[in-house]
Homo-oligomer: A and B are copies of this chain.
Amino acid sequence: MYLAKVYVTLKPTVNDPQGLTIKGGLHTLGFNSVESVRAGKYLQIKLDGSDRADAEEQVREMCQKLLANPIIEDFSFELEEIQA
C-alpha cells in the first residue's frame, strides 16, 4: 500500500484570485510582510500497487486524467510506502 501526496498548483502565469483574496485577508490581519500567496490543492491518496514504479505510474496518470487541469495547472507528488 502506498500513500501519494499530490500537490496541484496553478501555473505561474495564471491569475489566482483565491490567492489574492487570502493575501488581502492576511494584510487586513496585520501580516504586512506577506508578498504573495498562491493557492493550490493537496491530495492524500492511498492506493495499492505491485511496486513503487507501478504506483508512481498510476498516480501520474490520475493527475493527467483527473486531478490536474493541464491547461492551467502543474502537479507534483511524493510516494511513500505505508502499512495496509
Contact = CB atoms under 8 A, between A and B. Distances in A.
A20 interface: no
A43 B37 contact: yes
Contacts of A72: none
A49 to B, nearest CB: 6
Copies assembled = 2
Interface string A45-69: 1111100000000100110011100
B31 A58 contact: yes
A62 B8 contact: no
A43 B33 contact: no
Nearest to A55: B33
Interface in A1-59: 1, 7-9, 19, 22, 25-26, 29, 31, 33-49, 58
